[in-house]
Chains A and B, each alone.
Chain A
């Protein structure tokens, strides 16, 4: 990616970000609930109609849409995402506190996934259409068809209720708390990645340089681990980057099952209690993080793939 490309990419990102912020704001603006009424009722006060109108005026909820939007985005840019009224804390503080646990969960599940998916994928590609390939393919097929929330529940049933090996509710502090949620996330992902690794390795195996190396008598093992494997890692890196991003937002179901104190759990609770500022902040944060990760993946690709480096 040259400097010019990077520039146009950044410009596109800014346009999309503006769109996302409008959409995020619109979402809460159009939603049927009344944030002011919710604010009072969650504080345990039954507000009168007058009080609601007065507070709406004070907080600027009666201003035109654009005025409200620009005030909100202006505050966001200054790092002020408002205050969560269900938890009575600044939104930034809440999100920042939950970011690390979710990141930890994401990274652990990725590591677990790679430990399973890479060997299985390579094995299945090398022994294509042999019994082991069929077994791996059947297992991965079931892996992608099983809903991860059900896997999570079954794991709890087995390890926490029946065997009593692990705590049912994870506080997110220790490795034990992390293990089951991470395994749950890793199961569905490994199935997907095993297929990807298999496809990538198969593609490399059928390329001309492999035939050349075989003709020159290079040992099969050396071709596989010296040439084919490193080359097939390239598409995998892009996918990993995308997965980190989508996991940051996609762990909510698993976090809810295990009562794990992460971003997704926070967001689900925020939506349940119609905590608009928190929802807005969450959606905006995750979208921005996701886009930044995607950009970093694209940039890093230039450094990893020598062909791209030459092109610059």
Chain B
């Protein structure tokens, strides 16, 4: 049989992987892309100017270039989203594997705590945590991590429990494998694929939740350019300067679409059964 190249076989994944990579590149090389325009410095005489050749996306109330702010905003949004997903992935997987492997009271405690977090609907606890800890990007990440890890923990737990009582695990135990070795060598590899898929498909929604928190004023603080908080600033100028809310929103939308597509395509590659 003819061996297809990876690109031929998975064109969707490749396209969106490239697009995702381009967005990341834009964030990394923001200063170059913004043409040396400082996103936090503005001239008040340039305040609220409609899109033009000089300011392609217009300017905001401080006279700052929105285009530069949207480009720099990718830094804040992407880095905080990746940190958030990494945190819930590591914490959730770790606790879930412990819970599934040891069972008994360890399982009971971890799962009841998870139940408590899940009992708070949607953003309620996240808003409360972010608001009471004080508004900052770090606290917004903590807030969403607190309510999101149980999903991963439950998933990891159920996957571990599936193989916990199989013969090869029993054999490994009988031949004297240490607990740490068991967890690393057998439990983790058996959970990791499903969890990576979950994490990849979650990037988009996590980005939207972070943006929602900063939109409410509980995330990144001005003058840091961040898409959610830019939308919040633009909200008050809807009548006179709609461009202030259109471009940051578009940036969130496009980025979320790209990462959702990337996640879905990755799932199809790693787990062909799901479709």
Contacts and interface: CB of A to CB of B under 8 A. Distances in A.
Given A245-B121, A252-B127, A154 B132 contact: no
A128 to B, nearest CB: 12
Nearest to B132: A31
B127 A271 contact: yes
A253 interface: yes
8 contacts: A12-B115, A31-B133, A147-B212, A150-B253, A153-B231, A161-B238, A250-B121, A253-B215
Interface string B202-224: 00110010011001111000000
A268 interface: yes
Contact of B123 (A24, A33, A252, A257): A252
Contacts of B204: 145
A146 interface: yes
Contacts of B211: 147, 149
A157 B250 CA distance: 15
Nearest to B245: A153
A27 interface: yes
B243 to A, nearest CB: 11
A256 B211 CA distance: 14
Dominant SS among interface residues on chain A? helix
Dominant SS among interface residues on chain B? helix
Contacts of B205: 144
Contacts of B53: none
B121 A246 contact: yes
B252 A147 contact: yes
Interface of B: 112-113, 115-116, 119-125, 127-129, 131-134, 204-205, 208, 211-212, 215-218, 231, 234-235, 238-239, 242, 245-246, 249, 252-253, 256-257, 260-261
Nearest to A147: B208
Nearest to B117: A23
Contacts of B124: 249-250, 252, 267, 282-283, 286-287
Interface in A230-289: 245-250, 252-253, 256-257, 267-268, 271-272, 274, 279, 282-283, 286-287
Interface stretch (A14-22, A76-84, A171-179, A212-220): A14-22
B115 A156 contact: no
Contacts of A271: 127-128, 131-132, 218
B252 A150 contact: yes
Given A145-B204, A271-B127, A291-B119, 9 more contacts: A23-B116, A32-B134, A145-B253, A145-B260, A149-B212, A149-B215, A153-B234, A249-B123, A268-B216
